[in-house]
Amino acid sequence: MTGWPGWDGAPGGALRPALPDWVRADVERRSLLRTERRAGRGVRWARRRAAVTAFGWIAVASVTPVAAVVDGWGWLVVGAAAIIRAGLAGWETAVIRREDRGFALPSAPAPPPWALRHSAAAEPLRRGEAGLAALVAMARTLAPGAARGPVRAAVAGAADLVDGLRVTAMRVVACERAARAVTYPARRAEILATRKDLVAEMSASVATLDDLLAAASEVVGTVVASSPDLARLTQQIEALRGYAAALRELSG
């Protein structure tokens, strides 16, 4: 029953209505933006806390010379310690800022959903937005290291590709609008031929993105995860079973 038009198969044999491509393209784009904002929220708070700490210690260090003149030279030691603490907090801020390199996202404006309605550009644009979101999800599963660099670079390339898809989608929409405005069949045919070429270009770009996803999945699948060794867990299971058997024998 998954072949019914307008419906998608769901787990357990249930059916759920499928969103049209012109809606799903916008949903994929907004979902990726929300995910990136949530992922960077903790890092932003850590960077803000480190910056506030640095400024606080700088303020303490700036008033210690006056306090030393008024209350004794021991305040200079406090000022030196404050300068050291401010330097450490500043170093922490720099490290967080250097490591918090979020994934590259498309910068080109996306066409509004209502402009893509009944447009031939909706399907390839939706596939591009979904492919970028999937690639970012793959990259987030990799810990910082040698394997994450190529996947991060692939994300940047995919973001540029989606930028191109968005721009081309706007051109397709403009051609379709022009075709509706033109009354002469020959001129309309020329415009529709241009639209066909643009859609073919988008489809080729999406096919390239599919290849990129397949290659990234190979990297993700071959990287050894930092999970416990399965052999060691198997040994622990056997040891627990032996201990349980010994307890049963003692109990009688």
pLDDT in tens, 189-210: 999 999 999 999 999 999 999 9
Higher pLDDT, 166 or 10: 166
Mean of the pLDDT values across residues 7-13?
46
Q: What is the pLDDT of residue 4?
A: 41
For the chain, the distance separating the N- and C-terminal CA atoms, rounded to the nearest angstrom, is: 58
Quote the pLDDT of residue 10.
46
Q: What rounded mean pLDDT belongs to the chain?
A: 78
Q: Are residues 202 and 118 in the same domain?
A: yes
Asked if 135 and 40 count as a contact pair (C-beta separation under 8 A), the reply is no
- Whether residue 184 is found in the same domain as residue 157: yes
* CA neighbor of 158 nearest in space, from 136, 126, 125, 138: 136
Q: Indicate the range of 19-23, 71-75, 117-121 predicted with least confidence.
A: 71-75
Which DSSP state fits 15? E
Alpha carbon distances (Å) from 121 to 53, 115, 124, 196: 50, 10, 6, 10
Least confident of 35-39, 46-50, 247-251: 46-50
Both tokens of 250, joined, read: 């003692």
- pLDDT, position 23: 87
Residues 128 and 215 in one domain: yes
- Domain count within the chain: 2
Residue 16 in domain: no
Residue 115 has pLDDT above 80, yes or no: yes
Please tell me the pTM assigned to this model.
0.64
pLDDT at 141: 82
Give the range of the structural domain holding residue 191, as residue numbers without chain letter.
113-222
- Tell which phi-psi region holds residue 16, choosing left (phi > 0), alpha (psi between -120 and 50) or beta: beta
Predicted confidence (pLDDT) at residue 171 exceeds the cutoff of 90: yes
Same domain, 147 and 190: yes
The answer to whether residues 92 and 119 belong to one domain is: no
CA atoms within 13 A on the CB side of 28: 27
